[in-house]
Structure formats: C-alpha cells, structure tokens
Amino acid sequence: MIDGISSYSVADFISFTDEVYFRLFERQFEAWWPAHALLAALGVATLAFAVFGRVRIVAVLLAVPLLTSAVTFHFQLYAELTPVGRIFGWGFLVQIPLVLAWGYLSRHRQEPGRAVSRLVGGMVAVCGLLGYPLLSMGREGGFAAAEYPGMAPDPTLCLLLGVLLMCARPGWFLILLPIPVIWAATNAATLHALGAPRPMMLPVLTAITMITALWMLRFPRKTHEAPAE
C-alpha cells in the first residue's frame, strides 16, 4: 500500500498542462483589461503609503488586489481546472479580514532594524509590481499573458509580503503568513510538475520575508508609538 502511494508524483494529480494553466492569464486579460493597469497603479500607491507608514490606508488598499485575484483568477478560471482554485479563492478572501484587522489594530513604529526590513520589503514588493509582469511577458502571448499584481495570485502575494515586511511587527506574521505560505508551496509544486519556469520564485521571496521578520525579533521594542495615519 505504502509502496503504491510512493510511486505517485504531484504530476499524477494534475489534469492540465502548462499551456492550459498559462492560458488562464490570457483569458483573464481578455475579460478584464484595463483593470490590470488600474490595479498596478493601486499597487504602486500601496507601496508609496507603506513607505510613509500609513498602515490603515495600506491595509484597505491591499484588500482590493486580494479580492480581485480571488474572484477573477481563482473562482472564475483556476477553479475550472482544479478544486484547488476554489479552495484558495476562499483562502484569499479569508486573508482580507486578517489584513484589515492588522491595519486597524496596528500602529506604525520607528524601530531598530526597521530600515533593513523596509528595504527588503520594498524589494519584495517591487518583484510583485514589476518583476512578475516583466518576466512572464516572455511567454507565448506576451503582454496579454503576463501575470499582473491584483489579478494573478503570485505577484499579488509578493506585494502583500513586501508591504507587510515594511510595516508589520514580526508577531503579526504568525497570523498573516499561513495562507501565502500554503499557496506558495502548493503552486510551486504545481508549476514544477508542469515543467514551468521559475516555480520557486514565490517560495524564495516568501522565505526571505520570513527570515527578515525573524531577524527583526533580535531588536527590543520601543515604547513610543506614532499614530497609524
């Protein structure tokens, strides 16, 4: 029994090809453009507010791409291929109140070591805003097949992780990271089984985020708190 189970791989449980998977982004583009451009602009605004520590505004802005990627990708497209799409559609929706709770309950603090986490977080966020779209344009379909923040899940979560690293205390990552981590691992396994390029990009960026958040625990807290807005 155990030997029989061990003979299976992730690819045995995937009923679609990489062409079918990446075609989802072209279909999404055809149905929703120019929402991609508007959400990209919203992502840039989110990063700008994060630079200035406007935590509550950042949380509200982050809720939008989580919602749109859940609806336009997971529920409307990915769920056609696998039940995983619907599961993570709900997962992304659950992430929204968690992010809003963080924004409402948090206060931006100037802490020791924060400069490093802000720098690393900014780089992770830029990977979502620019890295994913530019790298994915190299696929067949070009501009229309690219993965955009707010529409495709991977760049959306890159933006989320980067902004959280810039603004959130390490303790919040225990609440805010599980769903992104599970998606990163699940989708990386899927992309690897499909033979797709860069399957480990999101897991690596997630690991960098976690390591930086753990590094922040080295520093004592300051008692002074600045208002969130």
Reported as a single tens digit per residue, the pLDDT across 147-187 is 999 999 999 999 999 999 999 988 899 999 999 999 999 99
What ranges do the domains of the chain cover? 16-216
pTM here is: 0.89
* Lowest-pLDDT choice from 122-136, 180-194, 209-223: 209-223
Q: CA–CA separation, 157 vs 182, rounded Å? A: 11
Residue 149: DSSP 8-state: B
Going along the chain, which residue ranges are E strands? none
